[in-house]
Amino acid sequence: MFDWIIANWQSILPFIAAGFAAQIVDGALGMAFGVISSTLLVSVLGVPPATASTGVHLVECCTTAVSGVSHALHRNVNWKLFFRLLIPGVIGGITGAYLLTALDASITRPFVMAYLAFIGIYLLVRGLRYPPKKHREARIVEPLGLVGGFLDAAGGGGWGPVVTSNLLVQGALPRTTIGTVNSVEFFLTVTISATFLVNIGTQGFDNAFLTPVVGLLVGGVLAAPLGAMVARRVAAKTLLVMVGVVLTATSIYSLGRSFGWF
């Protein structure tokens, strides 16, 4: 593998940079790696959605493992919330992975992106008005895990934007919410990857596909520990504003692509 990377380093380098940047954002804000990576594979390289989602989730098996351990070491994980998200997220991920191999998720994606753009704007406004009178424990958790896992598998990304943003809307503490959602994502991505491989095998895994996947993997693993550090050290107000900006921008862009605006 290392010999192959060295032999193809010029073509891999841009994807290493993209994976590094995407994982910094994801580790610090609890979202964006899957969305950025899937958009790159599908829109730029023309990889089929199911194959692209498989590749992204294989990469995330490694990046989320490193990120989850880093968040745990920085005490960014709410373990009660972790276990409430885990099982529903896995169930939703398996369901979404099965459906993506047979159905086109483009029908529902515009509605989801429009909803997330609205949530992003709300979080941006809420961040500018931070701090609230008090933080409170999120009440609606298990349904978020189920929907987030489903959309993550079916759309190639969505766990972070759906789950993190909606928990923050409910008043959860930004640092532990981001750390917990990132930690659960490891188990989600392993389950989704296994489901995809059982259903579609390794079809489409040629050099043109492996180059971006390996690049994203290397960049993502290098950046994963740094994201947890950023989440711990950056003020909650700043995190909320950043989440709002990233979620709004990525959702509007994805929505525009769905309608052919970009």
pLDDT digits (tens, 9 = 90+) for 47-74: 666 667 777 878 888 888 988 898 898 8
Find all residues with CB under 8 Å of 107, minimum gap 6, and list them. none
pLDDT at 1 > cutoff 70: no
Render pLDDT for 72-106 as a digit per residue (tens, 0 to 9). 988 899 999 999 999 999 999 888 877 766 665 56
Cβ burial, residue 87 (10 Å; 0-12/13-18/19+): middle
Q: Indicate the domain borders of the chain.
A: 2-258
Q: Cα Rg for the chain, rounded, in angstroms?
A: 17
3-state secondary structure of 101: coil
| pLDDT on residue 87 | 94
Cis status of the peptide bond prior to 174, with omega within 30 of 0: no
Render pLDDT for 116-170 as a digit per residue (tens, 0 to 9). 677 778 777 777 776 665 667 888 899 999 998 988 877 666 788 789 888 988 8
Alpha helices in the chain (DSSP H): 2-7, 9-29, 33-39, 49-73, 79-100, 109-128, 142-155, 159, 165-169, 174-200, 207-233, 236-258
How far is CA 10 from each of CA 6, 7, 14, 15, 52, rounded to the nearest angstrom? 9, 8, 8, 10, 22
| pLDDT on residue 199 | 67
